[in-house]
Amino acid sequence: MTPLLERVQNSRNVLGLIFMMPAALLLLLFLTYPLGLGVWLGFTDTKIGRAGQWIGFENYIFLMGDSVTQLALFNTMFYTTVASVLKFFLGLWLALLLNKNLRFKSFFRAVILLPYIVPTALSAIAFWWIFDSQFSIISWALVKMGWIDTYIDFLGSPWNARFATLSANVWRGVPFVAITLLAGLQTISPSYYEASAIDGATPWQQFWHVTLPLLTPIIAVTMTFSVLFTFTDFQLIYVLTRGGPLNATHLMATLSFQRAISGGALGEGAAIAIAMVPFLLAAILFSYFGLQRRTWQQGGSDK
Amino acid sequence: MSKDNQDNVGMSYLDSNATKLFKTYFPLVAFLFVLLFPFYWMGITAFKPDNELLSRDGNPFWIINPTLAHVEKLLFKTAYPQWMWNTVLVSVTATFFSLFASVLAAYAIERLRFKGAKNTGLAIFLAYLVPPSILFIPLASVVFQLGLFDTRLALILTYPTFLIPFCTWLLMGYFRTIPFELEECAMIDGANRWEILIKIILPLSVPGLISAGIFAFTLSWNEFIYALTFISSSEFKTVPVGVVTELVEGDVYHWGALMAGALFGSLPVAFIYSFFVEYYVSGMTGSVKE
């Protein structure tokens, strides 16, 4: 073996650099560079097929006064808040159910994740059919039960469409929340429950004073991811409504696609996408500080 | 009731059967019904003849005369088989490439501990948090500048941007559980770092590799926004994009063919998932735990 080769093999820094090479090159070229390019594009008037000029904050000033963008921001906030709250409560409930002593537990757990692993664009198509204005199975069932007289136009009117897309999002997100929270529940030692039961705690007190505090760190991380994915959601809306009716379901992501790719205004679309970043950072920081205060729950020292 | 389940069930064995039925099985079955109904509906629509689909009479939950007409249309009158092949090709290639790059990166960060390894690990985690929907516009222009627009290579090269951070993060956690002593022994026996990685670390991390691989495969199979933006010709589309953009013609929706397309696009991931449930779940929960 040549001395040079031997030196390389024993130097951790040189070897580390070589090992990092494939991942680093790819991420720099297709992640870091586009991220910077996106910020830059947001300050230009680039169109598809035409290089743009630096126009400063003009895009952002225009977007702030643009009623469609304002509506999209409202929709995104509404969609994220309501969907995340629902996903949290339903997911926690499902996790608690699955954590009980059940028959066919592993079967239940496996089947419940199906909505999460199947391509969202494809399950969204199934929802499109379920929400069809003329042949919706939900409307059919409600009419047969005598609860309604006419078929519901799920995707045709603004608030119906908002709740329809929201419910499809919740349907897809609940399994993720439930399974990760279940993993958290399984790390809680049963001796806490036995001890508290001996002290006379009711199941509700056990949940409030044992389960919830011990579960908080994993709840924080799970919900951060959930909020992040919901806030930047694209597929469901694109397939179900394309942002309609009357832009009532446009999210920031679908609006930026419409302006940049369909409309050709790359600069403006990039500005909309970049405008999402502060919200995402706020969500991440919120969860980060929420986590830090609770290191003692993971066996760390109390600060 | 299997015995190993009883370890972490708390005091629920004190509940009576009636309480349990009402408080546990009833809500659980309701959850299951809602979560699985869309799949049942997909399946039943795919094999239902048009006249039954478009009639409000009779029982819509069942098929009277099952038909393969929708499947036939899908397979022989659309580019569906081609989309399927594209999806398989892109997912498999992107997954293997990402695994390769991630193994090296995770080993370097976790075990070589080169100067700046800790910050690199943090950067990888942050990269995981960058959502594709804020990246696709500038990425489209990068893809265009490289002359990769409307090619499968564009997808193979861009999918690792979300696969590598995830796989590296997962594998770092996995490598951390392998005792240092094993590596030290091998080093004393004269093995170099490469041999240690291939002969000691990798065989011990097969479960971690499977978790990362399965997860990466499903993520690339399900990817939508990049495939929608970077591909314009039908022959290079992936299944999710093809079904959404090409099977919808005008105002007449071919629900049967659409649902058949959605069903067959979902089956491969569901099938693979069914064999590796445990690995998938550990990959998913591993990505959330730190």
Q: Which amino acid is it at A34?
A: P
Distance CA A119, CA B232 (A): 20
Q: What is the arithmetic mean of pLDDT over A44-66?
A: 89
Provide the CATH number for the domain around residue A175: 1.10.3720.10
Q: Could you report the predicted ipTM of this complex, rounded to two decimals? A: 0.89
pLDDT > 50? residue A301:
no
| pLDDT one-digit tens code per residue, A240-256 | 999 888 899 999 999 99
Q: In the structure, what pLDDT confidence band is assigned to residue A5 with cuts at 50, 70 and 90?
A: low
A262 is a domain residue: yes
Instruction: Return the percentage of chain A with pLDDT > 90, whole number.
Output: 57
Q: Show the tokens assigned to B139.
A: 């990425």
Contacts of A275 by beta carbon, 8 Å cutoff, 6+ apart: A60, A63, A252
Q: Which domain holds residue A247?
A: 63-298
Distance CA B165, CA B169 (A): 6
Which pLDDT value is given to residue A107?
86
The mean of the pLDDT values for chain A is: 88
Q: What is the arithmetic mean of pLDDT over A136-156?
A: 87
A54 is a domain residue: no
Task: Check CB contact under 8 Å for A225 and B31.
Answer: no
Average pLDDT along chain B, 290 residues, taken 10 residues at a time: 42 67 86 94 90 77 85 89 96 96 94 88 89 93 92 95 94 89 88 87 92 93 95 93 85 83 93 88 70
**B132 contacts on A by Cβ (under 8 Å):** 232, 234
Domains parsed from chain B with CATH numbers: 18-67 (no CATH), 73-288 (1.10.3720.10)
**pTM of the full predicted structure?**
0.89
Task: Check CB contact under 8 Å for A129 and B117.
Answer: no
Q: Within an 8 Å CB–CB cutoff, is residue B283 touching chain A?
A: no
- B10, B161, B277 ranked by CB distance to A30: nearest: B161
Q: In which element (H, E) is residue B229 found?
A: helix B225-230
Phi, psi of B189 (to 5 degrees): -75, 0
A265 is a domain residue: yes
- CA proximity to A117, closest of B28, B31, B273, B95: B273
Sign, CA dihedral B205-B210-B213-B215, equals negative
What is the distance in angstroms between the Cα of A172 and the nearest Cα belonging to chain B? 8
Distance CA B147, CA B93 (A): 20
- A35, A171, A269 ranked by CB distance to B35: nearest: A171
- A23, A27, A101 ranked by CB distance to B104: nearest: A23
Sign, CA dihedral B174-B180-B183-B187, equals positive
Query: DSSP secondary structure string, A144-211?
Result: HTTS-SS---TTTSHHHHHHHHHHHHHHHHHHHHHHHHHHHHTTS-HHHHHHHHHTT--HHHHIIIII
pLDDT > 70? residue A75:
yes
Task: Check CB contact under 8 Å for A112 and B31.
Answer: yes
Contacts 24+ apart (CB under 8 A), B285-288: B285/A179, B285/A180, B285/A183, B286/B170, B286/B173, B286/B174, B286/B211, B287/B128, B287/B166, B287/B169, B287/B170, B287/B215, B288/A180, B288/A183, B288/A218, B288/A221, B288/A222, B288/A225
| pLDDT one-digit tens code per residue, A218-242 | 888 889 889 999 999 999 999 999 9
A117 is a domain residue: yes
Q: What is the arithmetic mean of pLDDT over A141-159?
A: 88
What is the distance in angstroms between the Cα of B89 and the nearest Cα belonging to chain A? 16
Task: Check CB contact under 8 Å for A120 and B192.
Answer: no
A21 is a domain residue: no
Q: How many domains does chain A have?
A: 1
| pLDDT one-digit tens code per residue, A151-209 | 888 888 999 999 999 999 999 999 999 999 998 898 888 899 999 999 988 888 999 99
| A277-292 vs A212-231: helix crossing angle, rounded to 10 | 170
A47 is a domain residue: no
A249 is a domain residue: yes
